[in-house]
Structure 1
Amino acid sequence: MHSITNNNWEMHKAYQILFIASLLLIHPFLLNGQYSSADSSINAIMNSHKVVGMSVAVVKKGQLVYTQSFGLKNQETQTSLSNSDIFRIASISKSFSATAIMQLVEKRKISLEDDMSKLVGFIIRNPKYPETPITLKMVLSHRSSINDSQGYFSLDAINPAKNPNWAKCYNNYAPDSGYMYCNLNYNMAGTIIEKISGERFDNYIRQHILQPLGLYGGYCVDSLDKNKFASIYEYNADSVKFIPSPNAYAPRSEEIANYTMGYSTPIFSPTGGMKISATDLAKYMIMHSKMGKANGKRIISRRSARIMQTMISVKEQYGLALSKSNKLINGVLLTGHTGSAYGLNSAMFFEPNKKYGFVVIINGSEQKYTDGFNAVLKKTVNSLYENIILK
């Protein structure tokens, strides 16, 4: 009798485990089913605008509650977009670079007050203010007085030994006295990550941020499954057509084969080259909304997270690769970043106190703007707010 009881108990436990496992498997579908009004609303937005495809993810109370994809992954093959497809997310990529910098600051390998000349390995000085050091903090907050006029896909642009017009990389105002959004700033930051860590930039991000959080993505095209890439399209208003942008995923294999550590880093575009799905980007966003910790892993300290979310450029509301805006959802102050490149528009914004947030990635749409945001993106975030967060 005792033996039969044990067998029954073991079978009961096995059924319990199977039942719980099945619930976990269908959990995302149950959640999405709860928010059919969001599906309907976004489909209506897609139908009223010119859009190729869009992936969205919503976090509520610190948990991923909704992920959905709409429209096409590839216009030519008429392939539907799925939640596992990845995009080049453009300037949201900057926050990964800034997060990596903060990890190195925590290890006391560098300081935000360090002189960029020392960190990069050649003179970084505004020639109009040669005695004023340009610090890492100024670079990360776009207060460096550096601009993109000479390009930003190579450090040669600002290297006096390589570019006779290097001085044009600097604005007329003194470092830390004004703001100008600058991609070259973050490609230099990526170079610093390599110099200080001794790891190639793309590998560092994968090993110290993506893998601990259990995320699939990266900066190196050749290290990723190309079947997952969502094609990106520029909208041509004259021809009313979407034109493919294959350069969004240019592998730059030859340049990587001749790579110089600590100098060639802009090849990976630390400023805009991250490839990741909306779902995984939302999981990364949870880490920032929870002040540096998610998935049981602390990526950066609470202090570092607070520094990144503190607005250094007060007028522009920009911190360290994270900004604040109350115009995406009118009257609601959100923290995050947008991205725009090759026809793609993206947004990652969260409310750090109430622990909700949104990721929206559009792989091609008409470029109409409302309050500084792509109109389709803004309408989508507001729909997700009304149909999921407020429900």
Structure 2
Amino acid sequence: MEQKNQITEQSKDFSPLKDSLTADLNKIKDKKNIVGFSTSIVNENGILYNKGFGLSNTENQSKYTKNTIQNIASISKTLIGISLFKAQEMGKLNLDDPVNDYLPFKVINPTYPEIPITIRHLSTHTSTIMDSDNFWENTYILKKTDHPKNVSVFGYMKRPDSKIPFRDFLKSLLAEKGQLYTPDNFSKEKPGQKFSYSNLGATLCALVIESATKKSYDKFTRDNILTPLEMNNSGWSIKAVDSTKTSKLYGNYESVLADYSILTYPDGGLLTSSSDLSKLLTEFIKGYAGNGTLLSKESYKKLFENQLSKSQMPEGTEANFGIFLDFSKGFMGDDFRTIGHSGGDPGVVAGMFFNPRTGLGRILILNTDSDFDDAVTPQFKEIWSTINKYGKELNGEKPIAKNAYN
């Protein structure tokens, strides 16, 4: 019986359409600008396509598979949004509460000390908290000190003994007498006045959740998101995942990056695979349709509401923003509106979006940096467009051109 089930499961991965999609993605992989990547297509019912390409480790020639694990950068922030509404459902906080009602230290914009920064300000990037040089120069922490000559180490990456709890790091940056405090950590705008993307503000939001729920953010997200969705190969540290399945990160084919962690892990440090991340995207699609399992219908409705007025949005921007969700138009060449988040860190480029009109979702995770090779971003776009084209038919939408995959 077990062998029969395995054969049935394997047969789901093969069809003329999927085979053609795999062939097209292999052609992109063979250009050898991207070392390794995985991609997934999902809808409300689950995974329609999920496969890895290229290598997770060039030294031992390990294949990048659908179960290969790496960090996904700012896509991690989408878990903060779910966590906020879960904590609100539990009666632990309200999105319009001042953050200083919960934090163990005071956070005040020095230009407007009389205007409180609220949780909603943090979650919509209107808090006026900025990612200053002090933030960028201290958040990436090396896993070890000695590296072979072929391993790239960036100057802003700190020694392993620089690692401190993210609560202490935030206090040093944002509390008035903190070691890394400077007025430049805040913009000159009034809190709530203007959108300005902030990794630091997002991580502060995770600290609010910790303080309000009396649980570490790691444990809160595991108990309320990762475990219920059976994202068993995901976590916030290398100790929480199967290290034998992790990918190296690359500048390009010739440059492997030093292993690092992110001090402000809630804003970009989730380690996961396309297989596991597909479960999260499927949940978002279900939630948008009123069938989500993690939050109530009312919470999901609020999660997906436009949060910014026209005056709050950057000039020339057609998109809007939800609670740690990007309502994008034109992401990587798309000519329609999508909901989700993108991500980028050293050696990482990633995207997770779904079309709210059709319910088709796409995930793409790269282990190669886009800053080192000008061809990486165009190839990301090429893969993104390809999985959209095939995804439409896998999702039962209008067929692609006749014979396109025969």
**Counterpart residue type for residue 241 of structure 2:** L
- Give the alignment partner of residue 309 of structure 1, picking from 298, 304, 307: 304
Do the aligned residues in 2 keep the contact of 1:219 with 1:268 (CA within 8 Å)? no
Is 1:179 paired with 2:192? no
SS at 1:311's partner residue? coil
- Give the alignment partner of residue 281 of structure 2, picking from 282, 285, 293: 285
SS at 2:30's partner residue? helix
Is 1:28 paired with 2:44? no
Do the aligned residues in 1 keep the contact of 2:248 with 2:256 (CA within 8 Å)? no
**Which residue is 1:222 aligned to?**
239
Deviations 1:103-139 (A, max 9, x none): 0011221011011122222222211111111110010
Worse overlay, 133-142 or 52-61: 52-61
**Counterpart residue type for residue 186 of structure 2:** Y
Considering fraction of residues, name the structure with more helix.
1
**Which residue is 1:276 aligned to?**
272
- Give the alignment partner of residue 250 of structure 2, picking from 224, 233, 248: 233
**Which residue is 1:357 aligned to?**
361
**Which residue is 1:113 aligned to?**
96
Deviations 1:324-376 (A, max 9, x none): 22213432211110010012100000013322100000001544679xx9322
**Counterpart residue type for residue 299 of structure 1:** L
What is the alpha-carbon distance in structure 2 between the residues aligned to residue 130 and residue 268 of structure 1? 25
Q: CA RMSD for the aligned pairs?
A: 2.5
Do the aligned residues in 1 keep the contact of 2:349 with 2:366 (CA within 8 Å)? yes
Where in structure 2 are the equivalents of 1:63-74 lying within 5 Å?
Answer: 63-74=46-57
SS at 1:50's partner residue? coil
Aligned residues: 350
Do the aligned residues in 1 keep the contact of 2:349 with 2:370 (CA within 8 Å)? no
Where in structure 2 are the equivalents of 1:39-118 lying within 5 Å?
Answer: 39-48=22-31, 50-60=33-43, 62-118=45-101
**Which residue is 2:135 aligned to?**
151
How far residue 288 of structure 1 moved from its aligned partner, in angstroms, is 0.8
Q: 1:192 to 1:165 in 2, by over 3 A?
A: closer
Percent of aligned pairs sharing the same letter: 23
Do the aligned residues in 2 keep the contact of 1:144 with 1:176 (CA within 8 Å)? yes
Is 1:319 paired with 2:319? no
Q: 1:292 to 1:206 in 2, by over 3 A?
A: farther
Is 1:130 paired with 2:113? yes
Do the aligned residues in 1 keep the contact of 2:36 with 2:64 (CA within 8 Å)? yes
Deviations 1:253-280 (A, max 9, x none): xxxxxxxxxxxxx846100010110111
Is 1:200 paired with 2:216? yes
Q: 1:63 to 1:160 in 2, by over 3 A?
A: same
Do the aligned residues in 1 keep the contact of 2:44 with 2:286 (CA within 8 Å)? no
In the superposition, the TM-score normalised over structure 2's length comes to 0.80
What is the alpha-carbon distance in structure 1 between the residues aligned to residue 380 and residue 41 of structure 2? 14
What is the alpha-carbon distance in structure 2 between the residues aligned to residue 268 and residue 178 of structure 1? 23
Is 1:139 paired with 2:122? yes
How far residue 292 of structure 1 moved from its aligned partner, in angstroms, is 6.8
How far residue 102 of structure 1 moved from its aligned partner, in angstroms, is 1.0
**Which residue is 1:261 aligned to?**
none
Worse overlay, 352-361 or 158-167: 158-167
What is the alpha-carbon distance in structure 2 between the residues aligned to residue 164 and residue 182 of structure 1? 17
Q: 1:308 to 1:61 in 2, by over 3 A?
A: closer
Give 1 or 2 for the bigger CA radius of gyration.
1
SS at 1:120's partner residue? coil
Do the aligned residues in 2 keep the contact of 1:278 with 1:360 (CA within 8 Å)? yes
**Counterpart residue type for residue 304 of structure 2:** Q
**Which residue is 1:246 aligned to?**
259
What is the alpha-carbon distance in structure 1 between the residues aligned to residue 296 and residue 269 of structure 2? 25
**Counterpart residue type for residue 71 of structure 1:** G
How far residue 214 of structure 1 moved from its aligned partner, in angstroms, is 0.8
In the superposition, the TM-score normalised over structure 1's length comes to 0.82
SS at 1:196's partner residue? helix
Unaligned ranges ≥5, structure 2: 140-168, 394-398, 400-406
**Counterpart residue type for residue 356 of structure 1:** L
